[in-house]
Amino acid sequence: MALRHNGKTAIVTGASSGIGRATAKRLAADGANVVVADIDENGGQETVQQIESKGGEAIFVEVDVTDEWDVEAMVETARETYGGLDIAHNNAGIEGTNDPLTEQSLEEWQQVLDINLTGVWLAMKHELPVLTEGDGGAIVNTSSIAGLAADGSAPYTASKHGVVGLTKAAAVRYADEGVRVNAVCPGVVRTPMVERSLEEHPDAVEAMTDDQPLGRMAEPEEIAETVAWLASDESSFVNGHALPVEGGKLA
């Protein structure tokens, strides 16, 4: 059976760990050449090594998604190394603090918005021209269930709602140029971000899952499978959709 992403080129931001690493590995296993992009060089290089150990193709690019020059260079590296771009998973993000809105600083607000929302906008700004040069392609942005309902702090929730709106705007605008744009909206996933929270609050697992019908956290690989599907021809009529992957919590 042919690999569903064979010969395609993909960029994955935030690929040094968690959902980004799992997605980079899934796309590579499906035959894609993967640009592993992250501000964390050590983690990013480890992702590349894990891909290469399984016979996949990947390179690491250090990128700060809030820096337009970095983002532009990331996309240009994909073009120069692999000849173009077919898939982008704009995944880099932070959780910020969980303090009440009235106790958060402007700097805390701005940092979350800069990385989670402006970073996705900058990535699409530079990915879309390359995607539309060829036969089109697919973008999958990482939002959250906090992009569909209030969940977590105000900056995080606002940023993830923004990703959903940005995804829909781009999906409508670029559909006739052969690019589909969707968002994945994970619930609680066992990532380093969540593990950090559990270190501070070890009893939080039950609180995180008690209103979740499947009664557990997701694994990063489960989100990666969804991203890989949204980026594939198997989802060829899915566009402008914010897909919850949260075990039924929103139901």
Q: Three-state secondary structure along the chain?
A: CCCCCCCCEEEEECCCCHHHHHHHHHHHHCCCEEEEEECCHHHHHHHHHHHHHCCCEEEEEECCCCCHHHHHHHHHHHHHHHCCCCEEEECCCCCCCCCCHHHCCHHHHHHHHHHHHHHHHHHHHHHHHHHHHCCCEEEEEECCHHHCCCCCCHHHHHHHHHHHHHHHHHHHHHHHHCEEEEEEEECCECCHHHHHHHHHCCCHHHHHHCCCCCCCCECHHHHHHHHHHHCCHHHCCCCCCEEEECCCCCC
Known catalytic membership, residue 156: yes
Strand 57-62 and strand 87-90: the pairing is unpaired
Catalytic residue among 60, 82, 109, 156: 156
Catalytic residues: 156
